[in-house]
Amino acid sequence: MLATHHLCSCLIRPPKTKLLSFLVAAVHWLKQEETVAQLRWYQSGMLGGVTAPANDRLPDLIGLGAEKCGSTSLHYYLRAHPEVGVQRVKEMRFFLDDGSFHKGVDWYKRQFPAGAKTLMESHGGGYTDYPRTKGIPERIHGLIPGARFIYLVRDPIDRMISRWVHNYSNSDEHRPVAEALLDLDDPEYAPQSMYYMQLQQYLPYFDVSRFLVVNHLDLLNKRVETLQRIFCFLGVDPGFYSREFNLIRHSSQAKRRPTRLGMWLHENAGRRVFEQLHGPQRHWFKKLFYTAVSRRVKRPELNRPVKDRLREVFAPDVAALERLVGARFEGWLQ
């Protein structure tokens, strides 16, 4: 209530200080709202059906991405299951050098709830980012040698286009889509779409039976059956259902790119606020303050020569992945 009052009262200040005061008040409001939400999360038992963080267990499973393959949606689907405990902050990235590894194992354990049947770090963005990021499988094996993994995959070209839309909407990418995707050395695009190559980094440390590879299209179009398969792999009740399963998170169709005015506001005021936030806070901050000064990013189409070149690049990796997991990925590279 106090933060909401502060948010409203700053609007009647002189114009010179109004914008900055409004943004600062928004930070307090967003942080207060998330704190309250997390408290309710633990109290209500939504997070694995428990009421307090654990300090004596490591996770049983780890999500490997890939990025732009539905890992955010899966995080919330798993969170809804009363027998599954996922990490408190979605993008924890514990095993990365620039993530949370420096905080130590005890800190890592405390991010998961007590009492859940199965614990999972559900959003492992960066764990399949070879060769930009190296040594992750060894690090996981050193700490959790019995770990199992869920790896969401998607048509390689389709994943790259979604990644381009994401980067372009954040003004991190300025090249035309074809130029960006044909830069095969750019770690944002082609390497992360070579799923077999990424899994090869893990196979010296973990048997292939420890991996469940899930097609993004199955999670999108056959969600109930796919979640039942995932829950069976986790060893929890496969019959559980939640209304949360009807939601899709972080759709590319909702991406927007700031206008010049939006970029000016971000550089002169918004950036300082944005960098104090994380996860859902950043999502709502962008939605509240940049929608009016941004334009929707239309998903681009690739011409035939570009598609043919990318099919040539990815066909061997897709074939190897199919042989490894014993499944066909129908409709890929079309």
Which of 25-29, 271-275, 316-320 shows the lowest mean pLDDT across its residues?
25-29
Q: Which pair of structure tokens corresponds to residue 269?
A: 């005021």
Q: In the prediction, which pLDDT does 215 show?
A: 97
Task: Name the 3-class secondary structure at 63.
Answer: strand
Q: What share of the chain is helix, strand, coil (3-state, %, to 5)?
A: 50, 10, 40
Nearest-angstrom CA–CA distance, 115 and 130: 34
Nearest-angstrom CA–CA distance, 70 and 150: 12
CATH number attached to the domain at 51-250+304-325: 3.40.50.300
Q: Which residue has the higher pLDDT, 29 or 319?
A: 319
Strands 294-296 and 256-258: antiparallel
Nearest-angstrom CA–CA distance, 231 and 163: 28
Q: In the prediction, which pLDDT does 41 show?
A: 41
Average pLDDT value over all residues in the chain: 83
- Let me know how long the chain is: 334
Confidence of residue 279 (pLDDT cuts 50, 70, 90): low
Contact yes or no for 121/99 (Cβ under 8 A): no
* Annotated domain spans of the chain: 2-43+256-296, 51-250+304-325
pLDDT in tens, 217-251: 999 999 999 999 999 999 999 999 999 999 877 66
Which residues, in sequence order, are CB contacts of 136 under 8 Å at separation 6+? 95, 96, 126, 127, 130, 201
Q: In the prediction, which pLDDT does 19 show?
A: 53
**What's the whole-model pTM score?**
0.81
Radius of gyration, alpha carbons of the chain: 21
First to last CA, the chain: 53
* Angle formed at CA 151 by CA 115 and CA 218, multiple of 5 degrees: 100
Nearest-angstrom CA–CA distance, 86 and 96: 18
Q: Which residue has the higher pLDDT, 184 or 1?
A: 184
Mean pLDDT within 199-218:
98
Q: In the prediction, which pLDDT does 39 show?
A: 42
